[in-house]
A = this chain, B = another copy of it.
């Protein structure tokens, strides 16, 4: 780690956050709008910024997320580092950087993080250099700034892998939820249908949810039972090394 020569550089380091949210129907990602500058239309991007001196990477990701979108207290997990020397060199990205950055040609390596939230609990408030922050349907993302589309894909893959092997996903739901909501959540993330009866059977057998004495009201169909997440059983399961949730 100590050799020195002309090739070496001090690149800049940023973090970008891929926050997935679920609106009871579809999976969305929190994106900010990059301001339009001369000849460059505005464009959606992941919330991300450079890290600070005294921060570790996790802290940097949390801070940046809060600064750009107002969201805080979100558990973030690392996706990967993205460091292609050309990751900022698409023409529009370059033009944009030139108009807003002091050192537009500096290489930037980014550490991507992801998380899952119940988007009803988080109303993003754009600030700092973000012009807007909003929840965009994953399926409708077209072009993103820099290599952010690639980062979103990598984060989504990570999320799929994780939800297959571990019963996460309860963070995305409100305190009380119905099994149909949970079912749709899993289908949204995995991008495929899951049999309703088999899904319910599995969930109930694991005892990760317990039914409340409360039903939906005012719906024009049979009201569904509300459930809550049983954190105690979840912790037991994880302690026992259970890592095959099996979807």
- Give me the interface of A with B, judged by CB distance under 8 Å: 1-4, 7-14, 16, 45, 48-57, 78, 80-85, 97, 100-102, 106-109, 111, 128-129, 146, 161, 164-165, 243
Query: Which of B2, B50, B78, B165 contacts A8 (CB under 8 A)?
Result: B50
Query: Which of B3, B78, B100, B111 contacts A129 (CB under 8 A)?
Result: B3
For residue A190, give the distance in angstroms from its CB to the closest CB of chain B.
11
23 A-B contact pairs sorted by A residue (CB < 8 Å): A1-B14, A1-B16, A1-B48, A1-B146, A2-B129, A3-B50, A3-B128, A3-B129, A7-B54, A8-B12, A8-B53, A10-B12, A11-B13, A51-B83, A56-B85, A57-B81, A78-B81, A80-B81, A81-B111, A109-B111, A161-B243, A164-B243, A165-B165
Supplied contacts A2-B101, A8-B51, A165-B165, 5 more A-B pairs, CB within 8 Å: A4-B102, A7-B54, A53-B85, A57-B83, A57-B109
Given A4-B102, A101-B2, A102-B4, verify A9-B52 contact (CB < 8 Å).
yes
Given A1-B108, A2-B100, A129-B2, verify A85-B9 contact (CB < 8 Å).
no
* Neighbouring B residues of A84 by C-beta, 8 Å: 56-57
Q: In the complex the two chains form, what is the Cα distance from A190 to B125 in whole Å?
A: 46
* Neighbouring B residues of A49 by C-beta, 8 Å: 1-3
For residue A15, give the distance in angstroms from its CB to the closest CB of chain B.
9
Query: Which of B13, B14, B82, B146 contacts A13 (CB under 8 A)?
Result: B13
* Neighbouring B residues of A128 by C-beta, 8 Å: 3
Is the pair B7, A10 in contact by a Cβ cutoff of 8 Å? Answer: no
Is the pair B52, A7 in contact by a Cβ cutoff of 8 Å? Answer: yes
For residue A230, give the distance in angstroms from its CB to the closest CB of chain B.
25
Is the pair B53, A107 in contact by a Cβ cutoff of 8 Å? Answer: yes
For A63, give the chain B residue with the smallest CB separation.
Answer: B7
For residue A182, give the distance in angstroms from its CB to the closest CB of chain B.
22
* Neighbouring B residues of A2 by C-beta, 8 Å: 49, 97, 100-101, 129
